[in-house]
Amino acid sequence: MAISQKQLDDIIELIACTGNAASACRQIDVPMGTFWRHLAKDASLLERYARAKSQGMDALAEEIFDLSDRKVETDLELAQRRLQIDARKWTLSKIAPKKYGDRMIHAGDQENPIGIQDVTGAREILAGKFGVAAQLAGSGKSGPDSETD
């Protein structure tokens, strides 16, 4: 199926507004597969799609505020609203985790390198501070609450 330039432009515009390519294709009455094939063949269209998708994620994030600010009348409406908000938050955290995901710090990346500490003599330092290790070493106990036979 051939897609006109206007249909492609409309799909890209809808994606920028909603972040949802499937919905955009349905609204314009273009099969998703046809749209994907056009993306694969046209680098400039693919670039426009990527930009629109990013804008759509921002729109989706803003929609969370709109949903949370709307008044609800019933428990069913409240449950539906929570589901809508949670679905959008989950989607954003998976599609754009650097921007919308929970910040997780992993040791070993460039911003948080793994630190190496020399712990040689740590037992002696603790023994000097607390006087515990030396007593334990002499008594054969494994800890402060250990019982002797």
pLDDT tens for each residue of 87-127? 999 999 988 888 888 766 656 667 667 777 777 777 777 67
Nearest C-alpha neighbor of 36 from the set 26, 55, 49, 23: 49
Domain membership of residue 33 (yes or no) is yes
Residue 81 domain-assigned (yes or no): yes
CB atoms within 10 A of CB 75: 8
Burial grade of 52 (CB within 10 A; 0-12, 13-18, 19 or more): buried
Does some domain include residue 58? yes
Confidence (pTM): 0.60
Domain around 85: 5-100
- Is residue 113 a part of any domain in this protein? no
**From CA 64, how far away is CA 55, in angstroms rounded?**
15
Encode pLDDT of 66-88 as tens digits: 999 999 999 999 999 999 999 99
Written as six digits, the tokens of 135 are 């007593």
